[in-house]
Structure 1
Amino acid sequence: MLQFLLIYRRSPEPTGRTVQYVKVVPGSALKDYFNTPHAEPGQQQDGAASTATAPKQQEAASARQQDAPVTGGGGSPKQQPPPPPVGEPTDAARPETCNFLNAIFRFLFRELRDTPAVRHWLTKKIKVEFEELLLTKTAGRLLEGLSLRDISLGNSLPVFKTAKLMKPVHLNEDGMSEELNFEVDIEYNGGFHLAIDVELVFGKSAYLFVKMRRVVGKLRLQFTRMPFSHWSFSFLEDPLVDFEVKSQFEGRPLPQLTSIIVNQLKRVIKKKHTLPNYKIR
């Protein structure tokens, strides 16, 4: 008994663990989502025409069935099920609503909007944009420096109206996607705005107020592993952007400065965030 107790007094040694690599395999529903062919606009119109003629064909078929004699020993005739509607898009081909994403993002926005970490991160990004703006020829002729006085993130985030998986999806041998592209309709009316102190080239200073009133457009949201894992977003075409810009120099508006800022902001969106241009993130 004593020897038995001495044996079990020793601390048990942990059993060795081997590293196991498990392949990630998509489920059947996800495979259907990836492999459903994308309907072209011409095919959708043909499908709509077929849908319009389908009820007439169905009525004619039912009339022929009623006129046909009943055979086979007095049994009741078996009615054929109606054919499925032609031309209706499948669930995988329809644009998807993003209400659940909008609800989650709105909740997180309310919690994180005024935190120091978010404001510090956003301030750093804006300062980088200021430095690039000063390097342009047009702004460099008038502006000497830009400093951020105040920033407001507005009262909401961009709203994702609909999203659609852009086909075809390139799959590897395991059926997993190497790249995903989504077409997303967005709209923004949140009122993001900046207050900026401007140093002019002739030693004077001015005040600038920039507000983003509205943005509407189609985004391409991309997740890819080629040539390395990254994601990006960019407008598919020039978006509708409405800025409100006010400038003040010695108590008076400065239209020249206002025009320069508006044109530079629109140029940045076109050169950095509209296809074929995008920023890897």
Structure 2
Amino acid sequence: MSGEDNYTHIQCSDEDGLVLQAQCYLHGFPPTHYVLLLGAAYLEFLMDRAVLVLLSFLAGALSLLGLQAALLYKLYSRAAPQPPPQFTPADVRLPDVLKSRLGDDLRSKKEDGTWFNFFLQFMFSELQDSLQLRRFLTKKIQTEFEEILRSRSGILVDELYLRDFNLGDNFPVFMGISVDKSDVVSGVIQTLDIRARIMYDGGFQIAVDAALPFGRVAFVSVRVLKVRGLLRFRFSRHPFSHWSISFYEECKTEFGHHVSLKKLLLLQIRRLIRKKHTLPMYKMRFKPFFLPHVDTERSSGQSIRVDGVEVGHGVFEVTIKGASRLRFITKGAYFYCTASV
């Protein structure tokens, strides 16, 4: 250091022999010289190899993490919700191959329907013992019983109780199937009548307990031995979608019976078929092809709302899993559980 010039010489060196020199005033140093001095010392520190390796590692790790975060954000970020696709409903029309046959005499073109009868026999063998089918038939039989009790025949019987039924060993056979009538408007079938001859000898059996006046009870067991007749299946859209089945003329039936009322009940069965299931009388049906008709005008004022949202029409099914703390009953008795809403 030379005193006359008031300068201070500073010299630093690292392991590689790199020399860093700095010169500054002893008195009245300008601030710029202090900054330069500190910057020179900082650069010397950065030039150390270990520090460079550490900084390179940290920079690479941060870059890799940033790249992965960007990719994950792009993959899992939720896109803006898109509006659902809008499809224009297509108008129903009759295929050209069938439209060309509308002017033909379809009654003369009868089909034996072999494939259809084989299909029905197969489905019958699979479903005849199913719980769903037996429940469905039980409900239909009970409905018929209620209608019998409301008719003139109900004067002789106070109540009918279904004891058991057996579907027999085969399903009815339909022969000579043909189109009897078809009304087509604007390419859409409005009414379709199908004619078929039924042949049945499957042996359907039903056992009923009939409660008679004055506290008497009669056991009735009827077996259908033979049914022959000409049927009309109608599918129509008026006044609303429904189907029906009825005989063109009184059918031929043969019964085997074990009944204390003897011929009285059999006459009532034949009378019921003639009065309710022979043209021009028929009964509108919905299931299994259509849903029951709902009167929108009547139900419009009975809408149900939950939390401000209107609840539409549907089916409510309740399954009873079990019951406990029931009274002990004798062998052969049954418990019945009912649920109501």
TM-score normalised to structure 2 length = 0.59
**Does 2:149 align with 1:149?**
no
* C-alpha spacing 1:193/1:10, structure 2 compared with 1 (3 Å): same
Equivalent residue, structure 1, for 2:195: 183
Q: What number of residue pairs does the alignment pair up? A: 217
Structure index of larger Rg: 2
What amino acid sits opposite 2:272 in the alignment? V
What amino acid sits opposite 2:278 in the alignment? T
Please point out which of 209, 215, 237 is paired with 1:203: 215
Deviations 1:143-168 (A, max 9, x none): 3322122110111111011211114x
* C-alpha spacing 1:231/1:135, structure 2 compared with 1 (3 Å): closer
What amino acid sits opposite 2:271 in the alignment? R
Return the offset for 1:236.
Answer: 0.8
| 1:12-91 equivalent positions in 2, closer than 5 A | 12=79, 13-14=81-82, 16-38=84-106
CA RMSD of superposed structures (Å): 2.2
What amino acid sits opposite 2:93 in the alignment? V
SS at match of 1:246: strand
SS at match of 1:95: coil
Contact 2:106/2:179, CA 8 A, preserved across alignment = no
Structure 2 unaligned segments of length 5 or more: list them: 1-65, 286-341
Return the offset for 1:106.
Answer: 1.1
* C-alpha spacing 1:7/1:270, structure 2 compared with 1 (3 Å): same
Please point out which of 233, 238, 245 is paired with 1:233: 245
Give the number of the structure with larger relative contact order, counting CA–CA contacts within 8 Å between residues 6 or more apart: 1
- What is the rounded CA distance, in whole Å, between the counterparts of 1:131 and 1:22 in structure 2? 44
What amino acid sits opposite 2:267 in the alignment? N
Contact 1:189/1:214, CA 8 A, preserved across alignment = yes
**Does 2:115 align with 1:100?**
yes
**Does 2:77 align with 1:10?**
yes
Equivalent residue, structure 1, for 2:185: 172
* Identical positions, percent: 35
* C-alpha spacing 1:14/1:106, structure 2 compared with 1 (3 Å): farther
Equivalent residue, structure 1, for 2:226: 214
**Does 2:329 align with 1:261?**
no
**Does 2:279 align with 1:275?**
yes
Structure 1 unaligned segments of length 5 or more: list them: 40-92, 248-253
SS at match of 1:183: strand
Return the offset for 1:203.
Answer: 2.1
- What is the rounded CA distance, in whole Å, between the counterparts of 2:132 and 2:217 in structure 1? 30
TM-score normalised to structure 1 length = 0.70
Deviations 1:146-196 (A, max 9, x none): 2122110111111011211114x32222x2221111111111111001112
Return the offset for 1:113.
Answer: 0.8
Contact 1:95/1:163, CA 8 A, preserved across alignment = yes
Contact 1:94/1:164, CA 8 A, preserved across alignment = yes
Decide which moves more: 124-133 or 108-117: 124-133
